[in-house]
Amino acid sequence: MRQNETAGFLYALSGFAVLSVGDAVIKTMAGQWSPVAIAALRFSMAALALGALLRWREGMAGFRLAMPRAQFGRGAALAVSSTVFFTSLFVLPLATATSISFTSPMFTAILAALVLKEPLRKTTLIASAVAFIGVLVILRPNLAEAGWWAVLPIFSAMTFSLVIIGNRRVAGTASALAMQFWIAAFASPVLILAAPLFAQTGADRFALGWPDWSIVARCAFVAVSATCAHWLIYLGTTRAGASVVAPATYIQLLVATFLGWLWFDSHPDLVSLAGAAIIIGAGLYLWRAGQVREPPESE
């Protein structure tokens, strides 16, 4: 059992680390193409590849769609969350955007109470309040430099929590591979339609044009790496359990900080690091509270 937990944790650790590498690659495209178009191309590539793999592994039966409205909701929420996060990567340091995204578990817990009618625990409210303080600490220096663009990771975390809620709604209705395919398949058309609409705003940030081959290659890399990362996280969760692998997500901040320094010469200041530490502490507190079990009744 201990070996399985260790292996599962390492699988998840690797998966979360790879996700940050993908985020860093996205940041290298800042100013070169619309973040909405980048997200559209990334998820379209993923949908095509996952669809081919699903056809090979499960045949046409693998494409049976259960709970279509919930599946569309997952895809639409992921489309919004990814676009907003990609945009934030273009204007904020990689480590800063990653730190704020760690508020997602708190939003998920609150939305689970509102949408799924799960009990809202006192620990959730405490963790959410502490995480909000951490966000304010991080935003204080970044608002002056990036303006209100700095709040984008918060909105991304909120919409990603809707993805998690959607995952809970459709859990057990299809294989893990089919779940990955459907979320990409529904996210892609939403983003393809959104890209020209954003371009109509006239903002240079969302301008469209024929992408350079290097952008296509980098989107392909992100599509493949993110899919592999989610598989590693899935393998880790099945071997060790969600509660064991949950803290592994914070490797993302370490990788993001290192790549921000290595690729973009970005050095988080002490204020940003303090805010990140507060958010991580809130997340670990919420995770630890979820480990507490009621003592067994005496026989």
- Note whether residue 38 is domain-resident: yes
CA distance 72 to 76: 6
Range of the domain at 284: 2-290
Residue 297 placed within a domain: no
Whether residue 298 is contained in a domain is answered as no
- pTM summary value: 0.85
What is the 8-class DSSP label of residue 246? G
Mean pLDDT, consecutive 10-residue stretches, the chain (299 aa), reads 72 89 94 94 95 94 91 93 92 86 81 76 82 81 68 89 84 86 94 94 87 95 91 79 72 88 84 85 78 41
Instruction: State the Cα–Cα distance between residues 22 and 219, nearest whole angstrom.
Output: 9
Residue 152 lies in a domain: yes
Helices (H), the chain: 2-27, 35-58, 68-91, 94-101, 104-115, 122-146, 152-170, 176-199, 213-240, 242-245, 251-264, 270-291
Per-residue model confidence as pLDDT tens digits over 119-151: 777 887 888 888 888 888 887 766 666 667 778
The domain tally of the chain equals 1
Tens-digit pLDDT profile for residues 28-74: 999 899 999 999 999 999 999 999 999 999 999 999 998 999 999 99
Identify which of 276, 260, 249 has the alpha carbon closest to the alpha carbon of residue 136.
Answer: 276
Where residue 147 falls (left for φ over 0; alpha for ψ -120 to 50; beta otherwise) is left
- Asked whether residue 246 is assigned to any structural domain, the reply reads yes
Looking at beta carbons, which pairs linking 252-256 to residues 24 or more positions away fall under 8 Å?
252/16, 252/17, 252/19, 252/20, 252/98, 253/20, 253/95, 253/98, 253/99, 253/102, 253/280, 255/17, 255/20, 255/21, 256/20, 256/23, 256/24, 256/94, 256/95, 256/97, 256/98
Residue 172: partners with Cβ closer than 8 Å, 6 or more residues away: none
Residue 122 located in a structural domain: yes
Q: Tell whether 296 is covered by a domain.
A: no
